[in-house]
Chain A
Amino acid sequence: MRGDAHQDGTAALYVADALSADERDTFERHLADCAHCRREVQDLREAAALLSQSEATTPPPGLRSAILAQIAETAQETADTGTPSAHRDEADGADGATVRGRPRHAVRPRGWRRIPYLVAAVAVLVALGGGVWGWRAHNAAVTAEQQNQLITHVLGSPDSVSRSARMTGGGRGVVIVSQDNHQAIFVGSDLPRPASDQVYQLWTIKGQPTSAGLIDSHRSTVVVRLPSAAVQASSVAVTVEPAGGSPVPTHKPVMTFQLS
């Protein structure tokens, strides 16, 4: 099964659960070493989900309450309790990481669990290939590919730190800074829409505030690359400014992120 196993379409059989138990085990061992097949499995699994969706049926109402009651009393596996050689165990359990079809340690960045979910949601958008979010690059037009690389880079950097803040009117933001990479991004989620003649403006503050760009999208998730000066800034702030932005902030910040 190793070697050229991926050439014979076994991934599709695996995804359709059309392999015998032995064949499944063998293929899972192959998957651990074969990035090509892991991609194939991942891809075809979305198609399998579509098959299931075509059979969608309203579950009985009692099921919901039974499940919610049970999970309330069920401990979750934490990052530390997973077995190091979890791949096999997970395969037997027919659960998550087999779904991922790869050993966990291979991809998940260190400290992933500590990253706020919002930031992880950005990773989701990255995985979806861009085009989903609003994006405003600072002083530069960047391609979707570059955006993705950038975000993956910042998120994946072991030294990256994040600060989050909530807005009073709803919505929240996260600033992620990687000193090592000299990069910083702002991610906004569900920011209330400003008045039509107003715009959110980002500032990096080190002594004096310096404009770090405008948020010109009303998507539910916005990603803004901050100028590299943000890496050295003591804080990052968001204000509401007249359309077009201001050279200096004219209002109090609606969100502030203390970096140092």
Chain B
Amino acid sequence: MLHQLFSRDDALDAPVPERQACRQSAGCGLDISQKPRVGTDSRVTEWRLVTWGSAKSTLDALLLRVADGDQAAFADWYDATSPTVFGIVLRVLRDRAQAEEVAQEVYVEAWRLAGRFDPTQGSSVSWLNTMAHRRAVDRVRSAERALRRDALAAVDDPPEPDPSDLAVLHDECRRAREAVEELSTPQRQVIELAYFQGRTHREVAALLDIPLGTAKTRIREALRHLRGHMEEAT
């Protein structure tokens, strides 16, 4: 197992990859220049203009409508959340075709199970992100992952950025990036391996040659730090 880990890729020697996605894309789903949407609810326009943080509860309310079978609400919810979902599954899987497949599975699952969403237990964004991240990680951990990743990493060049997208750099997206960049180097290392590459904490510890407990602590501290950042921001 370990030799596989070490031979699989050279992620550790490389610096943490450039966070380009956000800069090259419309970002956090609040791009008001996006295509016309199915939903016609006037509130949608309104909340697209505010930041994600304060829009979270509106997104939650949308998902509650989705739970009642409202497809237009689902379309709006998709528009607001899909850059985050697609971004993370693409980051973990490093393959656009697979990322699209997983994103589609995630949204269909979210549609199916929307009735289980309980807004008192967390935001709809974290509800969805949990599904998306776990699904991507499970897939990347599947038997063929090493093969796939090695073969595909080379061809996964990001598409040319659309100039109109570049103009839309949403605050919240930028803030999220800044928060991540604020993490200490050891914290970013463990987050890179665990969260963005889907490694288990044992793999993280082995790859970094640190005690298991240290890997664990760093992951927790990194998440705690981000949580603290969010609280400051609100």
Binding site for B on A (CB under 8 A): 8-13, 15-20, 23, 42-64, 66-68, 70-72, 74-79, 82, 90, 93-102, 104, 107-108, 113, 117-118, 120-121, 123-128, 132, 170, 190, 220
- CB <8 Å contact, A76 and B83: no
- CB <8 Å contact, A96 and B108: no
- CB <8 Å contact, B131 and A94: yes
Give me 5 A-to-B residue pairs in the complex whose CB atoms sit less than 8 angstroms apart, sorted by A's number: A17-B195, A50-B180, A52-B88, A100-B122, A124-B120
- CB <8 Å contact, B117 and A52: no
- CB <8 Å contact, B224 and A55: no
A18 and B219 CA atoms in complex are apart in Å by 9
* Shortest Cβ distance from residue B56 to the other chain A in the assembled complex, whole angstroms: 8
* 9 new A-B contacts at CB < 8 Å, known A56-B84, A124-B60: A48-B133, A59-B83, A76-B113, A99-B122, A117-B64, A117-B67, A117-B68, A120-B64, A123-B119
* Shortest Cβ distance from residue B213 to the other chain A in the assembled complex, whole angstroms: 8
Q: How would you classify the secondary structure of chain B's contact residues: helix, strand, loop or mixed?
A: helix
**Which of A18, A51, A76 is within 8 Å of B180, CB to CB?**
A51
A9 and B86 CA atoms in complex are apart in Å by 28
Chain B, residue nearest A71 (CB): B111
* Shortest Cβ distance from residue A57 to the other chain B in the assembled complex, whole angstroms: 4
* Shortest Cβ distance from residue A83 to the other chain B in the assembled complex, whole angstroms: 11
- CB <8 Å contact, B204 and A18: yes
Q: B164-202, CB under 8 A of A: which get 1 and which 0?
A: 010000001100110110000000000100111011111
- CB <8 Å contact, A99 and B100: no
- CB <8 Å contact, B60 and A121: yes
Segment at the interface with A among B3-11, B71-79, B145-153: B71-79
Chain A, residue nearest B216 (CB): A9
A97 and B134 CA atoms in complex are apart in Å by 13
* Shortest Cβ distance from residue B221 to the other chain A in the assembled complex, whole angstroms: 8
Binding site for A on B (CB under 8 A): 19, 21-22, 24-29, 31, 35, 38, 42-43, 46, 52, 54, 56-58, 60-61, 64-65, 67-69, 71, 74-75, 78-79, 82-88, 90-91, 96, 100, 103-104, 107-123, 125-127, 129-135, 137-138, 162, 165, 172-173, 176-177, 179-180, 191, 194-196, 198-202, 204, 216-217, 219-220, 223-224, 226-227, 229-230
Chain B, residue nearest A61 (CB): B35
> With A59-B103, A99-B130 in contact, do A47 and B122 touch (Cβ < 8 Å)?
no
Residues of chain A contacted by B196 (CB below 8 angstroms): 51, 55
- CB <8 Å contact, A12 and B61: no
- CB <8 Å contact, B26 and A58: yes
Chain A, residue nearest B113 (CB): A96
A98 and B129 CA atoms in complex are apart in Å by 12
A59 and B102 CA atoms in complex are apart in Å by 12
> With A51-B191, A220-B43 in contact, do A56 and B21 touch (Cβ < 8 Å)?
yes
- CB <8 Å contact, B223 and A12: yes
**Which of A20, A56, A71, A96 is within 8 Å of B116, CB to CB?**
A96
**Which of A15, A55, A76, A128 is within 8 Å of B223, CB to CB?**
A15
Q: Closest 4 CB pairs between A and B?
A: A12-B220, A52-B88, A59-B86, A96-B116
A11 and B130 CA atoms in complex are apart in Å by 13
- CB <8 Å contact, A58 and B116: no
* Shortest Cβ distance from residue B206 to the other chain A in the assembled complex, whole angstroms: 13
A50 and B25 CA atoms in complex are apart in Å by 17
- CB <8 Å contact, A17 and B111: no
Chain A, residue nearest B72 (CB): A68
Residues of chain B contacted by A71 (CB below 8 angstroms): 71, 74, 107-108, 111
